[in-house]
Amino acid sequence: MSSDRKLKLIWDFRGPTASQVALHHEIHLKEYIRIEKLSDIITGVKHIHKMHSIAYVILMETQMKAVRDALKPHRGQLIE
């Protein structure tokens, strides 16, 4: 396993407030990154459709375990 791969950790939100909840969750992701003094982590929100949005972080594989264990994402994927 190469340690220089990029990964996306994803939190899914569903329902009529999914968009607002995902945007709010991104605020907390940014706070965590600032408090933990992490670098080179990208946050974002994507609206899949009106009843499904995601918040995510993109990070290096070497950072994944600590962030995953602290923030409990719903799923993850390898960034190609």
pLDDT digit of tens for each residue in the chain (80 aa)?
456 899 999 999 999 999 999 999 999 999 999 999 999 999 999 999 999 999 999 999 999 999 999 999 999 999 97
Q: Which residues are 57's β-sheet partners?
A: 9, 43
What was the pLDDT predicted at 1?
47
What was the pLDDT predicted at 2?
54
What is the amino acid identity at position 57?
Answer: V
* Cα–Cα distance measured from residue 60 to residue 42, given in angstroms and rounded to the nearest whole number: 10
Q: What is the DSSP letter of 9?
A: E
What was the pLDDT predicted at 4?
84
E-strand ranges in 1-80 read 6-14, 42-49, 52-60, 75-79
